[in-house]
Amino acid sequence: MSDRITVGQLYTGPVTPNMLRKPQTGDTSGTPSKPFAQVLEDNLLKLSNHAAKRLEQRGIELKTEQMKQIGSALDKAAAKGAKESLILMQDMAFIVNVKNRTVVTAMDSASMKDNVFTQIDSAVIIS
């Protein structure tokens, strides 16, 4: 037994640089990861300029809890493969682009009367 054993090593013989590298559990070199800011932005609910104007004109104020409910409804619509969705909540209606997570337009109960909603492929009702 002429090989030298060093404390902290489980093998005898010369140490090469390849032996000192930690094995990678998954190959992530081919898949670019999104920066945190992009992931955060992808999960936020956005308002288009048109929707912001309509909210202001119609006196609609959305609270944080309501925004969370709309975001949850968006997640449900996305899970079903929706693209443009009508979200009905209390006495308000929102047309939402699901992919971009953007509210396209907003209506109050007075604006919804006798209205026909077009260019939507789904509806989510929040009770």
pTM of the model: 0.66
Mean pLDDT to the nearest integer, 10-27? 55
Q: Burial letters for 4-40: b for 16+ Cβ neighbours within 10 Å, e otherwise?
A: eeeeeeeeeeeeeeeeeeeeeeeeeeeeeeeeeeeee
Question: pLDDT-derived band of residue 115, with 50, 70 and 90 as boundaries?
Answer: confident
Q: Do 51 and 58 meet the contact criterion of CB atoms below 8 Å apart?
A: no
CA gap 127, 114 in Å, rounded: 21
Mean pLDDT to the nearest integer, 103-117? 89
**Which residue in 90, 81, 71, 72 sits closest to 122, CA to CA?**
81
pLDDT digit string, tens, across residues 36-50? 666 556 568 899 999
Q: Do 67 and 43 meet the contact criterion of CB atoms below 8 Å apart?
A: no
Structure tokens at 3: 């090989």
